[in-house]
C-alpha cells in the first residue's frame, strides 16, 4: 500500500495528522494542489482505508484520567473460546485504549487511562471477573515524555 502513495498523498497525510480540522482550501494551499484535486485525493485516501477516521485529541488530565497504565497479561490458556472471551472483555472497557498480542514471554499488553490507582484496581477486578488470567502486572506511567498519534509519513 505504501508504494501507491506519492509525495502529494504523503504531504496530505502529514498535514491532516497535524490538524484534521483544516478546510480543503487550507489543505490544498499547504500541499500546493488545486482545491478539487485535493478534495478528490483525500476522499480516495479515505476510500482506500489509508485515512481511517478523523478525531479530536483530548487532554486526559483535564477530563480526570491522569493515570496512564500499561498492563502485562500472561495466560495459560490459548484456545479459541478463551481468546473470544478475552477479546470481548478487553474491548468492553472504555478505559482500555490499546490491546496488543505480543511475541516473546508476554502474551498481551494493555494500555489504559484511569483517574488513579483505585480506578485501576476497579478495572483490574472487573477484568479478572470476566476472563481467567494466569498473571497480571501493571506499570504506572510516572512521566509521559512523548505521546503522539502522528505516524512518520516519509516524504520520498
Assign residue 119 the CATH number of its domain: 3.30.70.920
My answer on whether 82 and 32 are in the same domain is no
Q: Which residue has the cell 512523548?
A: 146
What are 138's strand-pairing partners? 71
Question: In terms of pLDDT, which residue wins out, 6 or 155?
Answer: 6
Chain centroid offset of residue 76 CA: 27
Does 9 map to a domain?
Answer: yes
**pLDDT, position 72:** 97
Q: Please tell me the predicted confidence (pLDDT) of residue 156.
A: 58
Summarize pLDDT for 81-130 with one digit per residue, the tens. 999 999 999 999 999 999 999 999 999 999 999 999 999 999 999 999 99
Residue 75, C-beta contacts closer than 8 angstroms, at least 6 positions apart:
82, 86, 107, 108, 132, 133, 134
How many C-beta neighbours within 10 Å does residue 27 have?
A: 21
Q: Same structural domain for residues 33 and 94?
A: no
Domain check: are 86 and 36 in the same one?
no
> Is the pLDDT reported for residue 2 higher than 70?
no
Alpha-carbon distances, residue 49 vs 42, 52, 136 (angstroms): 11, 6, 35
Together in a domain, 65 and 119: yes
115-122, long-range: CB < 8 A, 24+ apart = 115/64, 115/65, 115/66, 115/67, 116/66, 116/67, 117/67, 119/67, 119/95, 120/67, 120/69
Q: How many domains does the chain have?
A: 2
With 60 as the cut, is the pLDDT of residue 1 above it?
no
pLDDT tens per residue, range 129-151: 999 999 999 999 999 999 999 99
Mean pLDDT of the chain: 94
Q: Decide if 18 is inside a domain.
A: yes
72 and 119 in a single domain? The answer is: yes
Residues 65 and 43 occupy one common structural domain? no
Residue 43's DSSP bridge partners are none
pLDDT score, position 89: 96
Task: Identify the pLDDT of residue 3.
Answer: 60
How many Cβ atoms from other residues are within 10 Å of residue 74's Cβ?
14
Predicted confidence at residue 78, as pLDDT, reads 85
- The answer to whether residues 82 and 114 belong to one domain is yes
Position 20 in a domain: yes
Full residue range of the structural domain in which residue 79 is found: 61-140
In terms of domains, do 122 and 75 share one? Answer: yes
Amino acid at each position: 500500500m505504501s508504494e501507491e502513495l506519492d509525495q502529494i498523498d504523503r504531504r496530505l497525510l502529514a498535514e491532516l495528522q497535524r490538524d484534521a480540522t483544516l478546510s480543503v482550501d487550507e489543505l490544498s494551499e499547504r500541499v500546493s494542489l488545486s482545491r478539487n484535486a485535493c478534495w478528490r485525493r483525500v476522499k480516495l485516501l479515505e476510500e482506500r482505508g489509508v485515512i481511517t477516521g478523523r478525531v479530536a485529541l483530548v487532554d486526559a488530565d483535564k477530563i480526570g484520567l491522569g493515570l496512564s497504565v500499561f498492563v502485562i497479561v500472561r495466560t495459560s490458556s490459548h484456545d479459541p473460546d478463551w481468546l473470544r472471551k478475552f477479546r470481548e472483555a478487553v474491548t468492553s472497557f472504555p478505559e482500555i485504549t490499546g490491546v496488543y498480542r505480543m511475541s516473546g514471554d508476554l502474551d498481551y499488553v494493555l494500555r489504559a487511562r484511569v483517574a488513579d490507582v483505585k480506578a485501576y484496581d476497579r478495572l483490574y477486578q472487573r477484568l479478572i471477573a470476566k476472563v481467567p488470567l494466569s498473571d497480571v502486572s501493571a506499570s504506572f506511567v510516572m512521566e509521559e515524555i512523548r505521546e503522539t498519534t502522528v505516524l512518520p509519513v516519509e516524504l520520498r
